[in-house]
Structure 1
Amino acid sequence: MKLNALVNKYNSANLVLRIAISIVVGALLGVFLPSQKWISEFGVLFVGALKAVAPVLVFILIICSLANGKSRLDRRFVRVVALYLVGTLLASFVAVGSSIMFPQNLELNVSADVSTVPTDIYEILHNLLVNAVSNPFASISDANYIGILVWAAFMGFAIKKIASPVTFTVLQDVSNAVSMVVRWIINLAPLGIMGIMYTSVSTNGIGIFKTYGSLILVLVGTMLFVMLVVVPALVGLVLRHDPYPLVLKCLKSSAVTAFFTRSSAANIPVNMALCKRLGLDREFYSVSIPLGATINMSGAAITITVMALATVHTLGVPVTLTSTLIVCLLATIGACGTSGVAGGSLLLIPLACAPFGISTDIAMQVVAIGFIIGVIQDSMETALNSTTDAIFTATAEYAAWRKQGKPLPKELFHEHKAEEHESEDHETEEHDA
């Protein structure tokens, strides 16, 4: 009975509060019990479970949505893709501004490990196309979301053409079962995040701030500016409403788990659960969220741009407007081809260094530095990437609601609507007078 009471108390507590407590507990355990490595297993199991269930969830949800769906993705899909790409491009421009205002010098004395990295845009696009038609079972196994999206779409449309009503019922039951498993895993997030926090503190400590503190501040500051200023401005421009209630709600629900898992792919189930709470169309977000985990990479664009320009400044290479614009475009296109896993953006730094004539050997030294600061950089990058997946998906959906005359969620937009009603009432009173 005591165990059941404890479990019920755990489940009834607010998830964000549980995660906040787990962060503190994990940090304290990392400081005072750094040799108890078994604690880190909670984090390993949590991230592993999310990464394992996410491809299956995406594959099943897309098939189910397209097979059962009566509506088309229509302009919502075009709008969310545009938001993903524009947001990533704007992030790269902001990163250029940050690099100019706060130029960084790197200590290029780490051993270089020249490995296979993309050499040009053609190779990145080629890899995307190859991934799109890779074996569907291999795509699920390797968490290749481009392949998952393509094959799930084919299967969904095919089933819609030929399947019987019984098939639709079975698909819906399987979808509900996978979603329930995801909810169980997310409910254990506090334990997983405690383990991840313990690993970070016990392994890295605060040593990275001594050598690369300034670089970390530029990266983190740029990402925060994009999240708190650029993204809300873009959302406000589309919705014509105060964007911060939506942005803050998504930050609260998505950013924390993305920060600690350091994987946009692993955070897909969290974002899908968030979209459901926001009242979005499952047919839409079951496609837009995994697509965002693949091509919506504002944080990656910032990392690529800042690290490349820091290399340029360190070597004293002259910077022109043309080369800067090329870097922004390379960072945007390259970021869209970044895998949604920890450290995925770092291997594209050599590509951004190429327009300045910087050799791959030197660029790979910068990649090595990126992995050193990755515990901070990659966590912030993933939080920005994954949270904006949910923000832009909601924005595209709510923009469609506005055109249809459908009211927006009161808990997110009631203040602005109240101001509109007050303004309308005031105009009516003046007219009557």
Structure 2
Amino acid sequence: MKIKFGLLPRIILAIALGVLIGSFAPEWLARVFATFNAIFGSFLNFIVPLIILGFIAPGIAKLGKGSGKLLGLATFFAYFSTIIAGILAFMASTTILPNFMKAGTMSNIDDPEHALAASYLTLEMPPVFGVMSALILAFLLGIGMASTGSKTMVSFFDEFQAVIEKTISYVIIPLLPFHIFGIFGNMAYGGAVAEILSLFAVVFVMIIILHWIMLLLQYTAAGTLNKKNPFFLLKTMMPAYFTALGTQSSAATIPVTVQQARKTGANERVVDFAVPLFATIHLSGSTITIVSCAVGVMLLTGEVPAFGSILPFILMLGVTMIAAPGVPGGAVMAAIGLLESMLGFDQTMIALMIALYLAQDSFGTATNVTGDGALSMIVDRFTNGKKAV
């Protein structure tokens, strides 16, 4: 029987080997690491605007399909839940993380392609357009396709999105462990790896706790509105939670989510409409993870995250992750452009973000899909089980 070596074990192995080898790597090997990281980092910069365009434009276009009132309510509650999750994560991480880490640990570490040695090769890959241009274009095209009902353009962007998803699945994700290996080799060389690994442990535990706090908030609201026990409702949705842990995909978990959401007593017509929609637009668990990791990385570099700068990031994040692909790390890939343009993350910080995120991606996905059951009940309560148009 063939044993599958999943992404998480590969990430863990990459970190361990990076720490070990980076401690005594000769210069020629350091230059090999630097060359790979420089090329891969350039490719990430090139692909990010295409990811934004490929995800958001068809995602917005498809929101135009369906019932008016039900669609509007479902979209509102999904976005509201995502924003609340981001604010919760910011408040918790800025309160807890400074007590467990030394601020400015990474302040003396350069970009990975320059820290250990000079790269053997410099390969420029300028993006076709910038991140903000991609966002504006995606909104413009997405809204235009939704309002005109253009089947040809929707079909084109569906295929374009499939190409981007393949690129992520078969190029970026397989190469990420090597990139993370180089980053941690660099950190081991710079003497900051111990503090960073301790941050991983603290952030991981904090994020899991925040996920469950968010689920309790969602099901308390759903239970109060529908006069049902929130703990019974949460227990009913547990098969969806554990299925998502295994699949790491909201889309793959839809059948189980629908089945369990029906058992909560929500109207079947509402559930059948809302759950597939929430699978692409409701990402409260992923938002908690991204915001918490971002705050942690900012603290490592000596920055003090301010709510005034993080809130716009959270608001944009709730939109940018729409229709994130059903592959591990899809949400953080969609968020890279915002991390760079709004929070000023460099390639080292981006690599840390990716490593932190992928270490618990399945837990974020599980929180997303489990929360879909609560939101379906809330939408059902406000529509009285009818598909209003």
Give TM class, smaller chain. 0.5 to 0.7
Aligned counterpart in structure 1 of residue 74 of structure 2, from 69, 73, 80: 80
Deviates more, 1:92-101 or 1:321-330: 321-330
Match of 2:315 in 1: 329
Offset at 1:140? 12
**Aligned CA distance change for structure 1 residues 118 and 241 (closer, same or farther; 3 Å):** farther
Shift of 1:76: 3.6
Deviation sequence 1:28-77 (CA, Å, 0-9, x none): xxxxxxxxx624499xxxxxxxxxxxxxxxxxxx9xxx9xxxxx846443
Change (3 A) 1:305 1:211: closer
TM-score (norm 1): 0.53
Quote the residue 1:389 is aligned against. Answer: 372
Instruction: Give yes or no for the alignment of 1:273 onto 2:259.
Output: yes
Cα distance, 1:362 vs structure 2: 3.3
Q: CA deviation at 1:144?
A: 10
Residues 298, 335 of structure 1: 8 Å contact kept:
no
Distance 1:212 1:290, change over 3 A: same
Q: Mark the structure with the bigger radius of gyration.
A: 1
Change in CA separation of 1:120 and 1:142 when aligned onto 2, cut-off 3 Å: closer
- What's the CA shift for 1:384? 0.7
Structure 1 residues 81, 359: CA separation in 2 closer, same or farther (over 3 Å shift)?
Answer: closer
Partner of 1:341: 327
Per the TM alignment, residue 97 of structure 1 is displaced from its structure 2 partner at its CA by: 0.9
Aligned to 1:8: none
Structure 2 CA distance for partners of 1:307 and 1:209, relative to 1, 3 Å = closer
Question: What secondary structure, in the 3-state scheme, does the structure 1 residue paired with 2:154 have?
Answer: coil
1:259 is matched with which residue: 239, 242, 245? 245
**Aligned residue for 1:38?**
2
Query: Conserved in 2, the CA contact under 8 Å of 1:289 and 1:390?
Result: yes
Q: Which runs of 5 or more structure 1 residues have no equivalent in the other structure?
A: 1-36, 43-61, 67-71, 146-207, 404-433
Deviation, 1:120, is 4.2
Q: Secondary structure at the match of 1:336?
A: coil
Write out aligned runs for 1:363-378 (5 A): 363-370=349-356, 374-375=358-359, 377-378=360-361
Equivalent in the alignment of 1:134: 154
Q: Which runs of 5+ in 2 are unaligned?
A: 7-61, 114-122, 147-152, 166-195
Please give the per-residue CA displacement for 1:153-199, whole angstroms capped at 9, x wherever unaligned: xxxxxxxxxxxxxxxxxxxxxxxxxxxxxxxxxxxxxxxxxxxxxxx
Taking only the aligned residue pairs, the percentage that are identical comes to 20
Cα distance in 2, alignment partners of residues 303 and 118 from structure 1:
28
Give TM-score scaled by structure 2 length.
Answer: 0.58
Letter in 1 for 2:308: T
Name the structure 2 match of 1:101: 95
Deviations along 1:177-235, whole A, 9 cap, x unmatched? Answer: xxxxxxxxxxxxxxxxxxxxxxxxxxxxxxx987721121122122121112x212432
- RMSD value, Cα: 4.2
SS in 1 for 2:2: helix
Q: Are 1:215 and 2:203 matched, yes or no? A: yes
Q: Give the letter aligned to residue 96 of structure 1.
A: F
Q: 1:143 to 1:393 in 2, by over 3 A?
A: farther
**8 A Cα contact 1:99 1:310, kept in partner:** yes
Change (3 A) 1:83 1:101: same
User: What are the residue-to-residue correspondences of 1:10-409 with 2, within 5 Å?
Assistant: 38-40=2-4, 73=67, 75-103=69-97, 105=101, 111=112, 120=131, 123-124=134-135, 126-127=137-138, 129=141, 133-135=153-155, 142=162, 212-228=200-216, 230-236=217-223, 238-239=225-226, 241-250=228-237, 252-278=238-264, 280-336=266-322, 338-347=324-333, 348-349=335-336, 351-352=338-339, 354-356=341-343, 358-370=344-356, 374-375=358-359, 377-401=360-384
Q: Distance in 2 between matches of 1:101 and 1:125?
A: 34
Could you tell me how far apart the structure 1 residues matched to 2:283 and 2:129 are? 17
Aligned residue pairs total 275
**Could you tell me how far apart the structure 1 residues matched to 2:374 and 2:247 are?**
19
User: Alpha carbons of 1:346 and 1:137: their partners in 2 closer, same or farther (altered >3 Å)?
Assistant: closer
C-alpha contact 1:121 1:330 (8 A) present in aligned 2 = no
Cα separation, 2, equivalents of 1:310 and 1:317 = 10
